[in-house]
Structure 1
Amino acid sequence: MQVFVVGNISVDETFLIDELPAKGASIHGVKTHQDLGGKGTNQAIILSRCGIKTTLIAAVGNDSQGKWCHEKIASENLALFPSSPRDCRTDTSLVLNCADGDNANITTVTAANVLSLDDINQAMSFSNSGDVVLQQGNFSVEKTAAVFALARKKGLITVFNPSPVKWAFAQLLPLTDILVVNQLEVRLLSGENEILPAAEALLNTGVSQVVVTLGAEGALLLNAQGLQRIAAPPVKVADTTGAGDTFLAVMLASTLRGQSPISAKDMRRAAKASAITIGRIGTLSAFPTRQELAELLN
């Protein structure tokens, strides 16, 4: 079994600030580092480090940043398609990291938009029934729907992490097998204010499994077997960037390795991995290593 992550690659530039600026405000900040990022890339790298055969379907531009991204990805045990850059600028994420550990991100999608359905279809031609297609929220609703429709036609399992979230993504839930959302996303997609009724509403659209991450309060899983909750392990917060991507990838890797539906055990493993990321500064540099993940998963 393998996972096809259809998403984005970006260069993350992180600035440390005291608090998020109000509209029209000018503030001071300190650029702390530059790292490889993009939700698709983050999730693909962690899946690969978990020992899952992974292909990242994502584009970079033909600029110096694109070359730098290719070099970084080449150091991971991860297949990248397409292998050649596109005639555009590489996407960039501006990460505003507050002193309390919270963050806000601004991400461009120029290269992500250049990635064509033909590119994606060509990469997925190497898939087999039962493989997994994982998408985030960096494409248009129409393009995201087309990828999932193609996946369903090929008999693939569809996993959706609709971040950045769009309200219109709700129409794609009937094409989704596993949905992973945070508290903001579950409310927006369902129209419900309370977390559990919101998750139930999404499950009723035809999604097989709904996972809601709750930050310091842990996570919950809702499926046909009922409700399961897990607590988050205590951690000293250094930087929350990439924590959600770590959780999703390790949870998915754990359930794929066990060849069974998502369980509380899978989520607890994911929460421990996410705590490692939260306790470190950066994106790629903060992710658990192969050795750390092997210890968590075995």
Structure 2
Amino acid sequence: MHVYVVGNMGVDQTYLIDELPEKGASIHGHKISQDLGGKGANQAVILARCGVKTTLIAARGNDHQGDWCRDKLTHEPLTLFPADPLDCATDTSIILNSADGDNVNITTTTAADTLSLRHITAVLADARPGDVVLQQGNFSFDKTRAIFEYARGRRLYTVFNPSPVQSEFAGLWPLIDLVVLNSVEARLLGADLQTADAARHLLAGGIGALVVTLGADGALLFQGARQLRAEAAPCRVVDTTGAGDTFLAVMLASALLRGLPVDETALRHAGAAAAITIGRSGTLNAFPTRAELSAILA
């Protein structure tokens, strides 16, 4: 089983602030870390650390930040395409962490936008039926749809984490086997309904299965008439950045490594891994190690 993560990578710069600012406010902050980030890179790194064969299809720019990202990824057990930088700036995220552990992210998409469909399908051409294509919400609607259509044509299993949310994504559901959302995203894409009703609305659109993460309240799995809940693992909240990416990647890895669809065990494994990330500061530096993930998945 091979997972192709088609998404973005970049540099995460994290600042600690007293509280999230209101519109028009000027505030002081303290830069506490610089780390590799981007939802595509985050999820690929964790999948690879879980022991899943992983290819990250994501662009970096031809600048010193792009070189820095490449060097960070050389220490991870994954394959990166394209191997060479593109003629653009590397994407960057500014992360504002408030004292209570909440955060706001501001992300550029220049490199992600420069990555062409030709770059992506050249790699996916090597995929075999049953392999997995995982996307996030960093591409345009048209590119996202074209990638999933290509994956469907090659009989690949499609997973979608549509964050950041675009309203047009609701037209993609018949192309998706598994969608992973948080409760806010579920409401935005689910006709502004509460979680259970939003899930039924989304499933009616053609999704194979849906997982909704609920933060401290755990996670819900919806598939057909089946609904499962997993409680959140206890943890001390330091920094929630990357927790959703950790959850998704470990959930998917748990199911793939056991040859099963996503189940309650996969949700439980994912929650335990996300609790580790939440208890640490940063992005890549906060993720569970290979040893920690092996212990969780054992």
TM-score range, shorter chain: over 0.9
Any idea what SS the aligned residue of 1:31 has? strand
Question: RMSD of the alignment, in Å?
Answer: 0.7
Corresponding position of 2:227: 227
Corresponding position of 2:243: 243
Gaps of 5+ in 1: none
Q: In 1, distance between residues paired with 2:99 and 2:91?
A: 26
Any idea what SS the aligned residue of 1:236 has? coil
Shift of 1:76: 0.4
Q: In 1, distance between residues paired with 2:152 and 2:2?
A: 15
Tell me the TM-score normalised to structure 2 length.
0.99
**In structure 1, what residue type is equivalent to 2:165?**
V
Any idea what SS the aligned residue of 2:48 has? helix
**In structure 2, what residue type is equivalent to 1:215?**
G
Q: Which runs of 4+ in 1 moved over 3 A?
A: none
Any idea what SS the aligned residue of 2:237 has? coil
Any idea what SS the aligned residue of 1:25 has? coil
Corresponding position of 2:97: 97
Corresponding position of 2:140: 140
Q: In 2, distance between residues paired with 1:276 and 1:262?
A: 21
Q: In 2, distance between residues paired with 1:159 and 1:191?
A: 21
Corresponding position of 1:44: 44
Equivalent positions of 1:101-116 (< 5 A) are 101-116=101-116
Q: In 2, distance between residues paired with 1:151 and 1:208?
A: 15
Tell me the TM-score normalised to structure 1 length.
0.99
**In structure 2, what residue type is equivalent to 1:281?**
S
Corresponding position of 1:180: 180
Listed one character per residue, the Cα deviations across residues 33-63 of structure 1 (whole Å, up to 9, x for unaligned) are: 1000000000000000000000000000000
**In structure 2, what residue type is equivalent to 1:97?**
N
Q: In 2, distance between residues paired with 1:200 and 1:281?
A: 36
Q: In 1, distance between residues paired with 2:219 and 2:181?
A: 10
Identity, % of aligned positions: 60
Shift of 1:224: 2.3
Q: In 1, distance between residues paired with 2:117 and 2:182?
A: 28
Shift of 1:125: 1.3
Listed one character per residue, the Cα deviations across residues 181-230 of structure 1 (whole Å, up to 9, x for unaligned) are: 00111111111321001011111111111000000000000002510001
Q: In 1, distance between residues paired with 2:83 and 2:2?
A: 19
Listed one character per residue, the Cα deviations across residues 147-180 of structure 1 (whole Å, up to 9, x for unaligned) are: 0000000110000000001111111111110000
**2:122 matched to 1:122?**
yes
Any idea what SS the aligned residue of 1:97 has? strand
- Matched length: 298
Q: In 1, distance between residues paired with 2:297 and 2:233?
A: 16
Any idea what SS the aligned residue of 2:133 has? strand
**In structure 2, what residue type is equivalent to 1:24?**
G
Corresponding position of 1:63: 63
**In structure 2, what residue type is equivalent to 1:43?**
Q
